[in-house]
């Protein structure tokens, strides 16, 4: 029987050191990195998405970055197809695939048997639901989902309108609740897998790191990056340009707020995002967590080495 590919995964909130650890592990285990970041897929969006630089990569191949232009659609299903093919290809070359990133659904699409392919897109139905939410309220839409898919409804907050609409769209197109994709998943794992989670238990220290990262992005030229994207015709209505760090700077460029206010909004939005990332990943019981401020780097590597013995 053919051996399943090995897979090492590094997740956690933003600004915790995932990128650096990914490179260190790739150097140690003869690996190549696949990004699991839904914003790093866009070309030209480099500073605001904290893409790895050539120097930081240290010659380690990084995949899943700069896949599409900011106005091109790219779904979780697209990512799943791309990343799974890349994992097989890296493994076939005798190297270790290392998935690194903080987009929970991207990671879940790889670790679990989620079938996104059946559910296409029905834009008119989606727009009708959006109008319904505006006219009757988000709770009405959430109640509608609870009626056809109580499991997914329980998982989603009523204010998460985008995902509530997507879950209703999946039911509308397939006649099956989205939660069945989770329930029908085979027990057998897809890969010989180790999942590592990086965190900083002290929230204030994590938020301090986030604030410093945002200041660094501004110093590196985030405002000019956003101006260049707007000059190329990428407008604020695009999904890509709604990313944290981009929509706030656009508001500054349009004169809606001062640069100081925009920077503060980016920091606040990123802190909230980190909180959501932690909530998502905390539900994943297969993750081995490390507090990067409480464990030394060599101790983390030592423990990962012990875990890797189980999949080699």
Residue 12 annotated as binding? Answer: yes
Residue 13 annotated as binding? Answer: yes
How many other C-beta atoms can be found within 10 angstroms of the C-beta atom of residue 256? 11
Residue 18 annotated as binding? Answer: yes
Q: What does the radius of gyration of the chain's CA atoms come to, in whole angstroms? A: 20
C-alpha 257/C-alpha 269 separation (Å) is 15
Contact (CB, 8 A) for 9 and 111: yes
Residue 239 annotated as binding? Answer: no
Residue 16 annotated as binding? Answer: yes
Work out the angle at residue 101's Cα, subtended by the Cα atoms of residues 236 and 95, and round it to the nearest 5 degrees.
Answer: 130
Residue 68 annotated as binding? Answer: no
C-alpha 116/C-alpha 85 separation (Å) is 16
C-alpha 103/C-alpha 13 separation (Å) is 9
C-alpha 92/C-alpha 218 separation (Å) is 41
Residue 190 annotated as binding? Answer: no
Annotated binding residues for ATP, written as ranges, equal 12-19
Annotated binding residues, written as ranges, equal 12-19
Annotated binding residues for substrate, written as ranges, equal 14-19
């Amino acid at each position: 029987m053919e051996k399943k590919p090995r897979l090492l995964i590094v997740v956690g909130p933003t600004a915790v050191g995932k990128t650096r650890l990914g490179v260190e592990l790739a150097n140690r285990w003869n690996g190549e990195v696949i990004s699991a970041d839904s914003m790093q897929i866009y070309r030209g969006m480099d500073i605001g998405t904290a893409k790895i630089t050539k120097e930081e990569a240290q010659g380690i191949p990084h995949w899943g970055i700069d896949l599409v232009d900011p106005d091109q659609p790219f779904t979780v299903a697209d990512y799943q197809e791309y990343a799974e093919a890349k994992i097989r290809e890296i493994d076939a070359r005798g190297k270790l695939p290392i998935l690194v990133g903080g987009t929970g659904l991207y990671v879940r699409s790889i670790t679990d048997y989620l079938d996104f392919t059946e559910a296409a897109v029905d834009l008119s139905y989606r727009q009708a639901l959006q109008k319904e939410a505006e006219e009757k309220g988000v709770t009405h839409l959430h109640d509608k989902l609870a009626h056809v898919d109580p499991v997914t409804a329980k998982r989603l907050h009523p204010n998460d309108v985008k995902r509530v609409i997507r879950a209703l769209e999946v039911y509308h197109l397939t006649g099956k609740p989205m939660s069945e994709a989770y329930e029908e998943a085979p027990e057998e794992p897809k890969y010989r897998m180790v999942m590592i989670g990086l965190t900083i238990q002290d929230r204030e220290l994590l938020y301090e790191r986030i604030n410093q990262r945002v200041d660094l992005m501004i110093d590196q030229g985030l405002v000019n990056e956003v101006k260049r994207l707007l000059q190329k015709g990428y407008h604020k209505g695009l999904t890509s340009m709604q990313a944290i760090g981009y929509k706030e700077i656009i508001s500054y460029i349009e004169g809606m707020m001062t640069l100081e206010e925009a920077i503060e909004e980016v920091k606040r939005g990123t802190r909230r995002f980190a909180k959501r990332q932690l909530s998502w990943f905390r539900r994943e019981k297969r993750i081995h967590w490390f507090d990067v401020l409480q464990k030394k780097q060599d101790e983390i590597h030592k423990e990962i080495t012990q875990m890797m013995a189980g999949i080699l």
